[in-house]
Amino acid sequence: MEDDLLSLFEHGRCVLARADYGYEVATPAGWSEADLERLPFQAAVAEASAGKGLLVRNSALLLGWSKTRSAHELWGSLRALARRGPLLLLCRFPRHAKEIRSRLKTAGVPPALWETPASGEVPPLYRRLPPGSELRRLHLSYEWATGLAAARGGVALRRVAFLVAEAGPMTVPALARSLGLTAGATRSYARWMEEAALVRRSGSALDFRHPLLAELFQGPPPAEVKLPPKERAWDPVELD
């Protein structure tokens, strides 16, 4: 994945990378790194060294910083950074990536875009965790909850999730019938879930972003039934 990203810098100095939950993007050797979860934007800019690359993690927070009084400086600073050296902005959700890309184009920094393929492949993080483990379920719950927080629709999206978990990939018309909603409303829910990287298109049907998310909407496996021990016949010798 890193090789694909780095190859994009041959055509431009700014790359916007959108990686699903469970995929790690390592900082290239010799680059600086700034995480907007831990640093204000101004401090992140100070992390950059002239001529060296800069990886900005959680770049969706740029959209929040752009609403502050120093908003006019923000996109100009990114333009200046891209001119000084390679700039890689990393975010998670398609909705945020779309908006950041539009803002960068307006600022004169049209970025190359790289995204995690929506192939339904299980992310590398989960392949390292034991099936059925509490840790894996915690990660799945966090992935879903944070995706839901970035989406719209609330409980309606959970209704979609329960249906897909039970029936497998479903078309919008089939979902609409099951939900008792119009096709237009159901298409909106599907789009919101796609924009939050919760689901993907599988042909003409809607499916989970990766199959493990279905585990969150299925009941626990049936408990093992323990039969009472058989009564042992008395041996007359034991009565002596």
Confidence of residue 81 (pLDDT cuts 50, 70, 90): confident
Residue in the block written with tokens 């978990």: 165
pLDDT 10s digits, 23-74: 998 888 888 888 988 877 777 777 666 667 889 999 999 988 777 776 677 8
pLDDT 10s digits, 109-154: 889 999 999 999 999 999 999 999 999 999 999 999 999 998 877 7
Confidence of residue 238 (pLDDT cuts 50, 70, 90): very low
Q: Annotate 97-129 with b (16+ C-beta within 10 A) or e (fewer).
A: bebbbebbeeeebebbebebebeeeebeebeeb
The three-state secondary structure class of 115 is strand
The three-state secondary structure class of 171 is strand
pLDDT score of 234: 47
Confidence of residue 165 (pLDDT cuts 50, 70, 90): very high
In terms of pTM, does the model score above 0.95? no
The three-state secondary structure class of 173 is helix
pLDDT 10s digits, 181-218: 999 999 999 999 999 999 999 999 999 999 999 999 98
What distance in Å separates the CA atoms of residue 44 and residue 46, rounded to the nearest whole number?
Answer: 5
